[in-house]
Amino acid sequence: MDKVSACIIIYNEEKNIEECLKRIQFCVDEIILVHDGNCQDKSLQIAKKYTNKIFIQERKGFCEAHYAFAFSQAKHNWILKLDADELLSKKLQKNLKKIISSGQASRYLFLWTEYNKDKSKIHKNTNYYKPFLFYKPDMISVGILHFPIISKGISIKLNYHVYHLSRPLKVSLKKIKKWSKLHAKQLITENYSSFQGNKNNYNLRPRHYLFIKYPLMLGPIRALTIIIRITFNQRLCLKNMHKSFKTILGEFIYNILLAKEIHKQKRNQ
């Protein structure tokens, strides 16, 4: 009943994957690893030391496209969803099964705390949460870039840390440019081929109809709205100036590029 399957989607992560797997090997009951396309480094060789449930899927360029497949391979009803650059804190490792057995919720959010691997520095985080632990029968995953997994049941925030390895701003901006093109295409075509759960419980269209129809007009407004919500909800400016700057800049650039890509792709249809 309290067994948990860890699901990890990666793409050429030989620098990060071993530490991620080390931290979960004794607190989960199985590890499912899906590689997004053919592997070009030693990621899979490293992963084989920790699991035999390794799958290579068609290259999509973003992890959400593989969620439904990864979750379908899980034997257990509890899912721990991680990226290769996310590390469970020791306290979370120790208490993971206790959290599940408490029966308080169907989805648990933990503090997503930035960690500078080169300087061995953990940045302070007091109010930035991300969902990581799910009860599979209640999960709903759309399979669209940057769309979070939601739950029909209760969600609870807990003050356990998952450390996210920080990347240089140049690398982040390169990914933002690539992802905005993929995201625009999915929203325009309503490509939900990787949907997991009951589609009747998640109606995407009303939330994005106007943005898709008038992207250049509503793009800046959408970007500013998201930034204001993030800033106030997470109190980033008060708590963590480093995280605040990176998050606000990334969100603004991403949503402006997304609006431009939607306009461009609609014009070319």
Read off the pTM. Answer: 0.83
Helices 241-268 and 215-234: angle between axes, nearest 10 degrees: 160
CATH 3.30.470.10 fits 4-165, yes or no: no
CA angle (83 as vertex; 156, 124 as ends), nearest 5: 60
Mean of pLDDT over the chain:
85
The rounded distance, in Å, linking the Cα atoms of 200 and 219 is: 28
Per-domain residue ranges of the chain: 4-165, 169-268
| 52-106 pLDDT tens trace | 999 999 999 889 889 999 999 999 999 999 999 999 999 999 999 999 999 899 9
Confidence check: pLDDT of 120 > 60? yes
**Stretch 100-122: mean pLDDT:** 84
At 61, is the secondary structure helix, strand, or coil?
coil
> Which among 93, 80, 91, 98 has a CA at the least distance from the CA of 23?
93
